[in-house]
Chains A and B, each alone.
Chain A
Amino acid sequence: MTTELESVVIKFAGDSGDGMQLAGTLFTDTTAVMGNAIATFPDFPSEIRAPQGTVAGVSGFQIHFGTSGVHSPGDAPDVLVAMNPAALKANLHNLKPACTIIIDGDSYTKKDFEKAGFEGNPLEDNTLSDYKVIEAPITSLTKASVADLGLDNKSMVRCKNMFTLGIVFWLFNEPLEQTINFFNQKFKKKPELAQANVNALKAGFNYALTIEAIKSSFTVLPAKKQPGTYRNITGNQAAAWGFLAAAKKANKELFLGTYPITPATDILHELTKHKWSGVKIVQAEDEIAGICSAIGASFAGDVAITTTSGPGMALKTEAIGLAVMTELPLVIVNVQRGGPSTGLPTKTEQSDLMQALYGRNGECPIVVLSASTPADCFDWAFEATRIALEHMTPVILLTESYLGNGAEPWKIKLTEELPDIHPRTLDSLDPNWKPYQRDSEKLARWWVKPGTKGMEHRIGGLEKDECTGCVSHNPQNHGKMVATRQEKIDRIADFIPLQRVKGKDATKLLVVGWGGQFGILFGAVNELQKEGKDIAFTHFNYINPLPKNTAEIFAKFDKILVCELNNGQFANYLRGQFPQFTYEQFNKIEGLPFKIKDLKNKFNEILEAGNA
């Protein structure tokens, strides 16, 4: 018997060496190709090798897939794969009632319970009595399935993630082809390894079929999506592709200057695969050199970007000031992680907002944008580049670990579907031109690259005369220049779309979000809207400047609740921008995304307080 489900949350959890990220990714790829809506959340320890078998070493990959209602990776799993007791321990507090738990019986020995911190055997005391447990001797069955391929013991055991994946594929009636193709491609030169993984996968599938692991299996129908060609994409990959596309549409060459840091490094990894496109990449000696090389490239006429995460952002600060002062186009990507300092390198947070807005010496206004889903990192990378080039300014693009590593289907945009970008370049001699001459509309100066005959000029970080661009310490001139640089950023509001609200008729409660929590916030608000509650949602991607109609929207609601993964940075920013309104806050700072359940509780609380 097969049961149809609207949506399901699966979590693959195991020791960091158990291959759970790969199992999760391969499952995601298959469900995506089957046309499901998906959202994923990889969650792993920052130590490369935390002690084996301990809770600190548990690596997880959560995927939410379905026909509808998939706005986030989901609060809690319907199915948990727990490769060892530590993985079970780490997830026990957060499971749906009647959750299915798949367990590798071979790794449930006394030693393993103790390492995981269980008092007794969770399979025998009543710990798991409320759940459906599928206990299979996964390690030994995996070994048996690959026994005749002549592999060493370690390589045989390594295939157990594929045995497990086979079980999960059976449970959800998913085909194996996609995964088999993956291994045949990946191990073209080592066919025995490809065969081992495929054997284990099939063995898992057949095992589940034979024992009828669960009395019935489930099907999740494809989602109703806009027609088009899709592919699965992570936020970091999408951002990299967005930059490639933006440079192309600006008819310029792309330059990346960067230094590796989690979780931003994958943008570097992705772009470096595409040298064929002409992208120039400098892996610099540190973040300062990364951004500095990008500033140099921008001066020389390239579409320059630099990518990093919190601590790297701190190092880039002085150079960002130089880019603001010299009014050069540059995109600075901060894939935020938990802070401060080295903080939580592999966990998500939204706490670098104030740093992006104000973290520089002097009056140093800059454009700040944020992406809201993994796939739209493409659009925001593109938009950040457009603003940088058309308005001659550095732009900070904030994404989050949650977006960078998370994946979802992306409706492919072919280059001919994308708008052109019009850099403010001057390519030939204009005798009347001055380096800091501005156009009257955008107040942007012209971009003249070295090599242009007759237009030799000097720029730098010192204050400059408003007309000639020559160094000037004149007090009135400095005042004017500070005002002009601010005005230039403010005027960008004339060139961006108006802010929109989801749920038009509401008047009581406006939920305000920004950045990567979009899907979760939208999902929570949506559920209450379906219950007929007087609630609406607005989500900001343009942070500085804010859309022009922001105050107009706020004025329509009795209450405004700002939800963010920090201590209230956006709320405080709004208080400064629009002090006429009162802002309530919902904050979480645990290195984890919001849960729909918690949000709904908070929303209901406020709505009910209003009724009293």
Chain B
Amino acid sequence: METEALQCPLKPKDFASDQEVKWCPGCGDYAVLNAVQKALSELNVKKEDVTFVSGIGCSSRFPYYMDTYGFHTIHGRAAAIATGVKVANPNLSVWVISGDGDSLAIGGNHFIHAVRRNVNMNLILFNNEIYGLTKGQYSPTSERGKVTKSSPHGTVEDPFNPAELALGAQSSFYARVPDTDVKLMTNVMISAEKHQGLSLVEVLQNCVIFNDKVHAAITGKDTKADNQLILEHGQPMLFGIDKTKGLRLNGLELEVVTLGEKGITEKDILVHDETIVNPTLHYMLARMRLPELPIAMGVIRNVGKNVYDKALHEQIKSEKTNSKYKNLNDLFLSGNTFKVS
């Protein structure tokens, strides 16, 4: 998107529509709404250039709450619809809003293909590990054995890790954020919008009604310092209350070490590089699971890659200059024509 500096930047609330927000009180979706409004205001974009496209689900009501252009579409297809929006008008800042059911179940195909093509848009994946809107069935991210309304005896299937799926589809930008950290979310949204290509932001979102506290081990006040590794590009991967724990590579495995123990110093700690093209380390970071390892938060991967909508328009441009046809009449009259008088 071409950002032309505005005279007086819009405030976050300028991006709020006049519609009453109807999520359940305490739903994690509110925090994402705040963060996105903050990010847009900091990005200094014009309201009319922003388009939100959503699927179906609680989170997909999001566009109604934004005073921008918005399209609330059908279940699972937001990424495909947004692809059309972006290709039709690459100048728009396009945001896809989707749930774990929306993007990874019914929309799985469109999700991986949007990531693979690297369409220049932002996809925010609200992961509450449950179907909210249909009132509490397990989703493709629900843990094995999860008891829900549609799995009273526990599920017998394994979940997707959205990050692994995205990296498998050659994602050029992947970030993970908890819904409890609006500041981190805002910064990540800003990086996402600045990235050229598909920026996937997975939000660990709490559904107070059907899956309350599913992310509590990660986001809880007492546990978050030890259980979240907040990544910063160029910085050592340190975490814990006093930042005394860190990550180190031991053979082909990541391990947690403590500074000062067994002669470990900051030099031994891995430094985060979101831009390395080889995805191996990003993949390892994305896969980290409690209790052995903390959960990686922030931008895990942010690399350059061909951008679909850009390449498509470049091809059109080059055809325009090189084609023997200059207008439709040239085409219609080309080849074997014959006259009847």
Q: Which residues of A contact B (CB under 8 A)?
A: 29, 32-35, 178, 222, 225-232, 241, 244-245, 248, 253, 255, 257, 274-282, 284-286, 288-289, 292-302, 304, 318-319, 321-322, 326, 412-415, 449-462, 470-471
Contacts and interface: CB of A to CB of B under 8 A. Distances in A.
A456 B47 contact: yes
A35 B338 contact: yes
14 contacts: A33-B338, A275-B316, A276-B325, A292-B74, A292-B110, A297-B87, A414-B333, A453-B48, A456-B48, A456-B67, A458-B72, A459-B72, A460-B70, A461-B56
Contact of B340 (A35, A274, A453): A35
A322 B53 CA distance: 13
B92 A450 contact: yes
Contacts of B303: none
A457 B70 contact: yes
Given A29-B336, A278-B316, A415 B83 contact: no
A92 B50 CA distance: 65
Contacts of A29: 336
Given A253-B88, A456-B69, 12 more contacts: A32-B336, A231-B337, A255-B84, A257-B84, A275-B315, A276-B325, A280-B312, A293-B87, A412-B337, A415-B327, A456-B47, A457-B69
B221 interface: no
A282 B315 CA distance: 13
Main SS of the interface on chain A? mixed
B174 to A, nearest CB: 20
A456 B65 CA distance: 12
Contacts of B74: 292, 318-319, 321-322, 461
B57 interface: no
B134 interface: no
B44 interface: no
Interface of B: 17, 19, 46-51, 53, 56, 63-64, 66-74, 77, 80-89, 91-92, 109-110, 113, 312-313, 315-316, 319-320, 322-323, 325, 327-329, 331-333, 335-341
A458 B87 contact: no
B325 A461 contact: no
A230 B51 contact: no
A441 B164 CA distance: 54
Contacts of B110: 285, 288-289, 292
A32 B340 CA distance: 11
A37 to B, nearest CB: 11
A464 to B, nearest CB: 10
B287 to A, nearest CB: 26
Q: Which interface residue of B66, B69, B322, B333 has the most chain A CB atoms within 10 A?
A: B69
A288 B77 contact: yes
Nearest to A244: B328
Nearest to A33: B338
A483 B327 CA distance: 43
Nearest to A306: B84
Contacts of A297: 84-85, 87-88
Contact of A232 (B313, B333, B336): B336
A431 to B, nearest CB: 15
Given A292-B73, A292-B84, A460-B73, A276 B338 contact: no
B49 A299 contact: no
B19 A289 contact: no
A280 B338 contact: no
B325 A300 contact: no
A459 B77 CA distance: 15
A412 B80 CA distance: 36
Contacts of B86: 296
A315 to B, nearest CB: 11
Contact of B320 (A231, A276, A318, A451): A276
Nearest to A290: B80
A412 B332 contact: yes
B46 A453 contact: yes
Nearest to B22: A471
Given A244-B328, A292-B80, A460-B72, A229 B87 contact: no
A120 B195 CA distance: 73
B328 A277 contact: yes
A24 B47 CA distance: 58
A296 B332 contact: no
Given A245-B328, A297-B85, A304-B84, A226 B340 contact: yes
A334 B260 CA distance: 70
Q: Which 7 A-B pairs have the closest CB atoms?
A: A296-B84, A460-B72, A276-B323, A293-B84, A458-B70, A300-B88, A292-B80
Given A450-B89, A456-B67, A296 B81 contact: yes
A451 B49 contact: yes
Nearest to A223: B340
A474 to B, nearest CB: 16
Contact of B63 (A244, A245, A279, A460): A460
Q: Which interface residue of A229, A245, A304 has the most chain B CB atoms within 10 A?
A: A229
B12 to A, nearest CB: 16
Given A241-B331, A458-B71, A451 B89 contact: yes
Contacts of A459: 70-72
A216 to B, nearest CB: 27
Contacts of B69: 450-451, 456-458
Given A275-B319, A296-B80, A456-B47, A231 B71 contact: no
B340 A225 contact: yes
B116 to A, nearest CB: 9
Contacts of B109: 285-286, 289
Contacts of A460: 63-64, 70-73
B216 to A, nearest CB: 33
A231 B336 contact: yes
A231 B84 contact: no
Contacts of B81: 292-293, 295-296, 299
Nearest to A289: B80
A274 B66 CA distance: 38
B336 A300 contact: no
A334 to B, nearest CB: 19
B88 A301 contact: yes
A451 B72 contact: no
Given A414-B329, A456-B67, A229 B73 contact: no
A244 B292 CA distance: 60
Q: Which interface residue of B17, B53, B92, B319 has the most chain A CB atoms within 10 A?
A: B319
B71 A274 contact: no
A433 to B, nearest CB: 14
